[in-house]
Structure 1
């Protein structure tokens, strides 16, 4: 039941996030990761002024 709810198919990706792990459908993780990377690259502000 949980696999259906989380739309977990055959190919899975396990990602460490802080103090826990997340299990993603690989296709969903790839799409999320690419979008997040693109959004992060679009940020105009420096993360730590003068360093990053």
Structure 2
């Protein structure tokens, strides 16, 4: 009986983590956009010097 309780908690934990992963995945910036942002940041810092 305790084993079933542990398996249930593990199953719920996996479901919650999966939902959080998929909701956060929609907010991740595409690699190309990330490259553009980093290059812009670097160029702005060089101009300030």
Scaled to the shorter chain, the TM-score interval is: 0.3 to 0.5
More helix by share: 2
TM-score by structure 2 length?
0.46
Structure (1 or 2) with the greater strand fraction = 1
Which structure would you say has the larger RCO, counting Cα contacts within 8 Å and 6 or more residues apart? 1
Bigger Rg over Cα: 2
